Amino acid sequence: MKKFGKIQFFTLATLIFLCSCGKADKVADSKVKEEKPKVKLASVKAENVEQLQEFTATVESDVKNNIAPSTPVRIEKIFVEVGNQIRKGQKLVQMDASSLNQVKSQLDNLKIEFERIDELYKVGGASKSEWDAKKMNLDMMQTSYRNLLRNTSLTSPISGVVTARNYDSGDMYSGGLPVLTVEKISPVKLRINISEDYFTKVKKGMTAKIKLDVYGDEEFTGKVSLIYPTIDNTTRTFPVEITVANGGQKVRPGMFARVSMNFGSIEHVVVPDQAVVKQTGSGDRYVYVYNNGRVSYNKVILGRRMGSEYELISGVTNNSQVVIAGQTRLNNGIAVEVEK
């Protein structure tokens, strides 16, 4: 009987041990399952995304002219002020005319001498060489007079507005700064640098939308007027000039502008902004992509931000599932639990 009791006790103890081990294994399995990070997913797909690019630029006048004589001379009178609207050919500055008057007197004398030698030459009283010499002297003096006249009575070569006045009447012009600066501000232009990726897409006459910080959300329209033919081998960009008609002259040289251009549509995957993760210590961006219970850490190149979504240039394929919550506990290749 005693031996039978021992056997019963041993059998009972074994059953208790096995049961306890089974429970322990179930608890361990449960803990493993609980340790899987929980994530939320979103399905993404490719869409036609407008290729809008924004550039910054400083407004420039269409034409800028510095008004000044070619040699130092005293300023007799300036007829305009900064801000004055002027027309092409308008007289702006009168310089001292002493030199001009002296050359005019010499020119008048040469004209008289040439008329005399010309009459003699016609009747055989002067040689061809004498006639040629007088004619050359007269021509040279006429050229000198015309040049001096242009540098004594300064006129504007364009219609525009006076944007700078650096001297007063009676001052001695000695070079350096011009007497006046005149700029044509209808139209104005902006110069932007565009990535070589768009070189074949930029066409003369293309429309550009322009906003100026000073005018808030008011939008102006410009058109591509000049495309430079070469690529900068350092920046991999090429300059493009955009002209704004500026009939009301609200846009002024020196203003800061934001230029938006549309280069057509391309089909790219679009993801929620919550899916994009910034790698610590670098500017790289990543997205966790879910597949068969695990996630992969995919490096992506971002395109446009469109409200709460990002266009992806690369990194995620069409019809993928991406993680939009729970990324803090994730690593590349880790198994995850998807929250419904």
Alpha helix (H) residue ranges in the chain: 2-35, 98-122, 128-150
Residue 271's domain is classified under what CATH number?
2.40.420.20
Strand, helix or coil for residue 65: strand
CA dist., res. 179 & res. 181, Å (int): 7
Q: Identify the residue whose tokens are 């006045």.
A: 165
In a domain, 30, yes or no: no
Answer yes or no: are the C-beta atoms of 37 and 337 closer than 8 Å. Answer: yes
- Using alpha carbons, select from 141, 148, 145, 142 the residue that is nearest to residue 95: 148
The reply to whether 271 and 212 lie within a common domain is no
Question: Which residue, of 151, 168, 196, is where some domain finishes?
Answer: 151
- Total domain count, the chain: 3
CA dist., res. 236 & res. 193, Å (int): 9
Which residues does 57 contact at the CB level (< 8 Å), separation at least 6?
190, 191, 192, 242, 257, 259
In a domain, 317, yes or no: yes
Residue 234's domain is classified under what CATH number?
2.40.30.170
Question: Which residue, of 265, 284, 309, is where some domain finishes?
Answer: 265
In a domain, 103, yes or no: yes
Instruction: Record the pTM.
Output: 0.69
In a domain, 220, yes or no: yes
Question: Which residue, of 209, 235, 265, is where some domain finishes?
Answer: 265
The reply to whether 226 and 271 lie within a common domain is no
The reply to whether 252 and 188 lie within a common domain is yes
Per DSSP, 335 falls in state: B
Task: Tell me the residue range of the domain where 117 lies.
Answer: 97-151
Per DSSP, 206 falls in state: -
The reply to whether 283 and 224 lie within a common domain is no
The reply to whether 114 and 131 lie within a common domain is yes
Answer yes or no: are the C-beta atoms of 297 and 288 closer than 8 Å. Answer: yes
Phi, psi (degrees; rounded to nearest 5) at 246: 55, 45
Would you write out the chain's pLDDT as a tens digit for each of its 340 residues?
A: 444 454 454 555 555 554 455 554 554 454 445 588 999 999 999 999 998 999 999 999 999 999 999 999 999 999 999 999 999 999 999 999 999 999 999 999 999 999 999 999 888 888 999 999 999 999 999 999 999 999 999 999 999 999 999 999 999 998 889 999 999 999 999 999 999 989 999 999 999 999 999 999 999 999 999 999 999 999 999 999 999 999 889 999 999 999 999 998 899 999 999 999 988 878 899 999 999 999 999 999 999 899 999 999 999 999 999 999 999 999 999 999 999 8
CA dist., res. 149 & res. 334, Å (int): 86
The reply to whether 248 and 277 lie within a common domain is no
